[in-house]
Chains A and B, each alone.
Chain A
Amino acid sequence: MTAKETIASATNGETHAAPSSPAARAALDFGKAWTYAPAPEAADHVRIDPRYELFIGGKWVAPSSGKYFETVSPSTEQKLAEVAEANERDVDLAVKAARVAYEKYWSKLSGIERGKYVYRIARVIQEKARELAIVETMDGGKPIKESRDVDLPLVAAHFFYYAGWADKLAYAFPGRSPRPLGVAGQVIPWNFPLLMAAWKLAPALAAGNTCVLKPAETTPLTALLLAKIIEECDLPPGVVNIVTGAGATGAALVAHPDVDKVAFTGSTDVGKRIQKALSGTKKKLTLELGGKAANIVFADAPLDQAVEGIISGIFFNQGHVCCAGSRLLVEEGAFEPLLQKLRDRMQTLRVGDPLDKNTDVGAINSKMQLDKIRELVEAGEREGASRFSTPCELPARGYWFAPTLFTGVSQSHRIAREEIFGPVLAVMTFRTPDEAIEKANNTMYGLSAGVWTDKGSKSFWVSQRLRAGVVWANTYNKFDPSSPFGGYKESGFGREGGRQGLLPYLEVD
């Protein structure tokens, strides 16, 4: 028995194959000896229009700028459609439409009637789930198994959940009379385009507000399909408006004087700029910003389950997840066996065509994001951490990055401090629970964290001390509309999901 094997058996009661063992090699070679047959999801029945206009006041209108931009598939670099670029004038029209809709229709409806519209949206999303999942994958690069099995069910669930709140707002805040705020301006990111649209629209509409939503410039298509669904559900004109564009469009929306509430999900940098732009105004603001979550593994943890949690924590959605478990903190005694299991498991991840149902890791969302990941990974190498990337063939076209982990990472390394937003894991170790907490909290972020241990009292002790809005104990990256999500510290403020997610859309004093 080697020294490494001894550590393994002492900590989790089972021996684990050392890196050089024939068994481990055979297990990994198996995947290479047998090539998987392609299992592509058919996309021929999905229709993407060559050009999309803006959805304002219940109508599809050409942008006053006259400008359009392309949205491309990050896995093929092929152009999917042209999308209108909204300028200040278009944003102004959208906000006006939302104001009229608020005064004229939406604020006059009873809660139950408002709820019915939101229920209807949920139902139609379920009916069109397949089409939506395929477009989500084509436009954003995420694996179809995730858009189909994670994004879409959650999107529908979100509308269903909040639909039921529409006629029960007074019960959410007993003793108070909650009132809607008016017009909500909402800016969402490219990592979960449709899910973020649902997170923004569902509670806002249920609470009685009207909305102007701006999807990200690299992933506008599913929000535009959602606009068609809203049209189909016959919502009063202007209750939901969708304006596409890049940063300038978002800035115009956020700064519009007639917007009562701004909700933003995205980077901490942009979030701070929005907070600054809104200072001195009476607008309500919620920010869901970046993260650098610690995933803490104690030596007594069920290691095989922890490995699955670490994998889903950092490689889910190519690591384009604000709550990704991007810092792995391992108790020293479990380091060797855990890392061996982790490297082995990483090599079974299939990287490639996101429309293939067997794909685990899809394309990086954009060229810009790929460059950012590369820059940080180079910084990791330069600063002396050891890189391990899975040996896999990446497609010749499109934007790709192999699943990667770094060991020998110190607290001061950029890869331990900055959000990479890609499939890159930084591994560090600790000796005592106090040290784990200290290291986990040593960041400006505070969105999420993970803890893995077999001891219930320890997991509660750790969960109570982690300064993060979401703590996953013995699991990771789980979401549910009934469950509040949001950050501490520079990961932003406000919650989405649950009863707590209604509060940012209501006046409750």
Chain B
Amino acid sequence: MLVGGQFVRSESGRYIQVADPMSLGGTKENVPWASRKDVRDAVVVARGAWEGWSGRTAYNRGQILYRLAEMLEARQGELARALERGGLEASRAAAETAAAIDRVVSYAGWADKYQSLFSSLNPVAGPHFNFTVPESMGVVGVVAPARPALLGLLGAVLPIITAGNTVLVLASEADPRTALVLGEALATSDLPGGVINVLTGRAAELLPHLAKHMEVAALDLHEVTPELARKAEEAAIVNVKRVRTRSIDEAAWFDAESATSPRWIERFVEMKTIWHPSGV
């Protein structure tokens, strides 16, 4: 699992077995099974990374995201193979990888542009200079959709980090291995450690703890069951978390126009309004 730019196993020593269709004897691969403590540790790391990430210039965040796209392109084959081992046909795996790279390129471009779309100069009735700007929220907890495992995870995480937040993402349970291969690309990119933290395990077990955590500012839940969503939303009241839920079908993640709408970023910003008198 990727936490703070480091590869960690679960402190619990637990693991989940994932089928490996490429092996001859039908063997399985072992993937870490994160615990509640892993969640807590990762939140601390994400919180620590937030100050630095949100404090960078928008231009710099855009540069880092574009560099990430370059890293993914270099590992295109490896990522596609991971998807294939997760059960995808070769052509679909290649298409998803290509779409994922495009998604990163697109958000790299958003990094220094959404601000001018969301912010405003407010024409108040009085001698004041008054404006509103978007700011990041802090640590966001994400439950990635089961499929598409790569494009879904990146598509969920990108708008959040583009806005200056840091994330702790619970990877797809259907294909956790791809998330870990992606983790290797993330770890070797210029993305500061702790901006994206990836845990593998069981969302139903981990999400309630994530939702209760005081240092988590928001949740982004994709395709969680209504029962689990309700549980998470109830736990989220502890610090008035912003809870966003989205259930879109697998094909919709490939709709670049919809999935790169700036509204996806707007869900994870706070608006700050600043007033100052004007006069001589």
Q: Which residues of A contact B234 (CB under 8 A)?
A: 276, 279-280
Closest chain B CB from A296 CB (angstroms): 14
Decide if A280 touches B124 in the complex (CB within 8 Å).
no
| Residue A275 CB within 8 A of the other chain | yes
Interface membership of chain A positions 464-492, coded 1 if the CB is closer than 8 angstroms to chain B and 0 otherwise:
00001111111100101011111011111
Interface size class on chain A is: 35 or more
Q: Is there contact, CB below 8 Å, between B240 and A471?
A: no
Q: How far is the CB of B259 from chain A (nearest CB, A)?
A: 11
Beta-carbon contact of B275 and A470 below 8 Å: yes
B242 at the interface (CB under 8 A from A): yes
Contact (Cβ within 8 A) A279 B273: no
Determine if A306 is an interface residue (Cβ-Cβ < 8 Å): no
Given contacts A176-B263, A475-B275, contact A480 B230 (CB under 8 A): no
Q: Give complex CA distance A24, B11 in Å.
A: 67
Contacts of A484 in B (CB 8 A): 120, 122, 132, 271, 273
Residues in B whose Cβ lies below 8 Å from that of A485: 273
The answer to whether residues A480 and B126 also contact, given A469-B270, A471-B275 and a CB cut-off of 8 A, is yes
Which residue on A lies nearest to B239, using beta carbons? A490
A484: min CB distance to chain B, Å: 5
Over the window 402-442 of chain A, the binary record of Cβ atoms lying under 8 Å from chain B Cβ atoms (1 yes, 0 no) is: 00000000000000000000000000000000000000000
Query: In the complex, what residues of B have CB within 8 A of residue A228's CB?
Result: none
A474 and B239 CA atoms in complex are apart in Å by: 30
Is B261 close to A, CB under 8 A?
yes
Which of these, A271, A463, A474, A503, contacts B240 with CB under 8 Å?
Answer: A271
**Given known A-B contacts A482-B122, A483-B130, A473 and B274 have beta carbons under 8 A apart:** yes
Chain B proximity of A506: nearest CB distance (Å): 11
Tell me, yes or no, whether B123 is within 8 Å of chain A by CB: yes
Contacts of B270 in A (CB 8 A): 469, 488
Q: Do B276 and A475 have beta carbons less than 8 Å apart?
A: yes
Taking the complex as formed, is B277 at the interface, i.e. its CB lies under 8 A from any CB of chain A?
yes
B229 within 8 A of A: yes
- Asked if A493 and B240 make an inter-chain contact with CB atoms under 8 angstroms apart, the answer reads yes
Q: Name the one of B240, B261, B274, B276 contacting A268, with C-beta atoms under 8 angstroms.
A: B240
A489 near B132 with CB under 8 A, answer no
For B128, the chain A residues whose CB sits under 8 A away are 475, 478
Chain B residue at minimal CB-CB distance from A285: B243
Q: CB-nearest residue of chain B relative to A175?
A: B261
Asked if A483 and B240 sit within 8 Å, CB to CB, the answer is: no
B233 on the A face (CB < 8 A): yes
B277 surroundings in chain A (CB, below 8 A) = 474-475
For the complex, give the distance between the alpha carbons of A232 and B120 in Å.
35
Check if A483 sits within 8 Å of B237, measured CB to CB.
no
Q: Mark A162-196, 1 if CB is under 8 A from B, else 0.
A: 00000000000101100000000000000000000
B248-262 interface with A by 8 A CB criterion:
258, 261
B126 with A463: CB separation less than 8 A = no
Q: Is B236 an interface residue (CB 8 A)?
A: yes
Q: What is the bound-complex CA distance between A299 and B84, given in angstroms?
A: 64
Contacts of B125 in A (CB 8 A): 157, 480, 482
Q: Is A263 an interface residue (CB 8 A)?
A: no
Chain A residues within 8 Å of B275, by CB: 470-473, 475, 478, 483
Which of B132, B273, B274, B277 has the largest number of chain A CB atoms within 10 A?
A: B273
Kindly provide the distance from the CB of A341 to the nearest chain B CB, expressed in whole angstroms: 19
Residues of B within 8 A of A488 (CB): 137, 270, 272
Q: How far is the CA of A287 from the CA of B274 in the complex (A)?
A: 20
Q: Please tell me if A459 contacts chain B, counting CB pairs below 8 Å.
A: yes
Q: What residue of chain A has the Cβ atom nearest to residue B262's Cβ?
A: A175
Cβ of B273 and Cβ of A444 under 8 Å apart? no
Q: How far is the CA of A301 from the CA of B124 in the complex (A)?
A: 24
Instruction: Name B271's contact: one of A469, A473, A482 (CB within 8 Å).
Output: A469
* Contact between chains at B261 and A482 (CB < 8 Å): no
Contact A469 B240 (CB under 8 A): no
| Interface: B25 (CB within 8 A) | no
For B123, the chain A residues whose CB sits under 8 A away are 482
**Does A236 count as interface, using CB distance less than 8 angstroms?**
no
Out of A176, A275, A459, A483, name the residue touching B124 (CB < 8 Å): A483
Interface centre among B233, B237, B240 (most CB of A within 10 A): B240
B220-240 interface code vs A (CB 8 A; 1 in, 0 out) = 000000110110111011111
Which chain B positions have C-beta within 8 A of A468? 272
Residues on A with C-beta less than 8 A from B232 are 279
B132 and A275 within 8 A (CB): no
Q: Are B263 and A275 in contact, with the CB atoms below 8 A?
A: no
B226 to A, closest residue via Cβ:
A280
- Would you call B276 and A483 a contact (CB within 8 A)? no
Closest residue on chain B to residue A309 by CB atoms: B277
Query: CB of A289 within 8 A of chain B?
Result: yes
Residues of A within 8 A of B239 (CB): 444, 489-490
Interchain CA distance A495-B126 in the complex, whole Å:
21
CA distance A488 to B227 in the complex (A): 28
Rounded to whole Å, the gap between the CB of A309 and the closest CB of chain B is 10
Q: Please determine whether A480 and B261 come into contact, CB atoms closer than 8 angstroms.
A: no
The contact string, 1 if C-beta is below 8 Å from chain B, for chain A 291-324, is 0000000000000000000000000000000000
Q: Which B residue sits closest to A280, measured CB to CB?
A: B230
Q: Decide yes or no whether A27 CB sits under 8 A from chain B.
A: no
Which chain B positions have C-beta within 8 A of A482?
122-125
Contact with A along B121-160 (1 / 0, CB 8 A): 0111110101010000100000000000000000000000
Is residue A67 contacting chain B, with contact meaning CB distance below 8 A?
no
Set A287, A470, A493: member contacting B273, Cβ < 8 A: A470
Distance of A508 Cα from B132 Cα, bound (Å): 20
Return the CB mask of A122-166 against B: 1 if under 8 Å, else 0.
000000000000000000000000000000000001000000000
Q: Which residue of B lies closest to A503 (CB)?
A: B266
Given contacts A271-B240, A474-B277, A478-B128, contact A173 B271 (CB under 8 A): no
Q: A97 CB to closest chain B CB, in angstroms?
A: 29
Q: How far is the CA of A53 from the CA of B212 in the complex (A)?
A: 43
- Chain B 86-121, CB within 8 Å of chain A: the 1/0 string? 000000000000000000000000000000001010
Scan residues 191-232 of chain B and give those whose CB is less than 8 A from a CB of chain A.
217, 226-227, 229-230, 232
Q: Contact partner of B236 among A176, A275, A473, CB < 8 A?
A: A275
* Contact assessment for B271 and A509 in the assembled complex, using a CB-CB cutoff below 8 Å: no
Q: Do B132 and A498 touch (CB < 8 A)? A: yes
Chain A interface (Cβ within 8 Å of chain B)? Answer: 157, 173, 175-176, 268, 271-273, 275-276, 278-280, 287, 289, 444, 459, 463, 468-475, 478, 480, 482-486, 488-493, 495, 498-500, 503, 508-509
Given A275-B233, A287-B240: 18 more A-B contacts, CB < 8 Å:
A157-B125, A176-B261, A272-B238, A276-B233, A279-B230, A279-B232, A289-B240, A459-B276, A469-B272, A478-B124, A478-B126, A482-B122, A484-B132, A484-B273, A488-B137, A488-B272, A509-B258, A509-B261
Q: List 22 A-B contacts (CB under 8 A).
A: A157-B125, A268-B240, A271-B240, A275-B233, A275-B236, A276-B233, A279-B233, A279-B236, A279-B243, A280-B229, A463-B274, A469-B272, A471-B274, A471-B275, A472-B274, A478-B128, A483-B122, A486-B271, A490-B239, A500-B120, A500-B132, A509-B261
Across chains A and B, which 8 residue pairs bring their CB atoms closest together, nearest first?
A280-B230, A279-B233, A480-B124, A483-B122, A272-B237, A473-B276, A482-B122, A279-B234
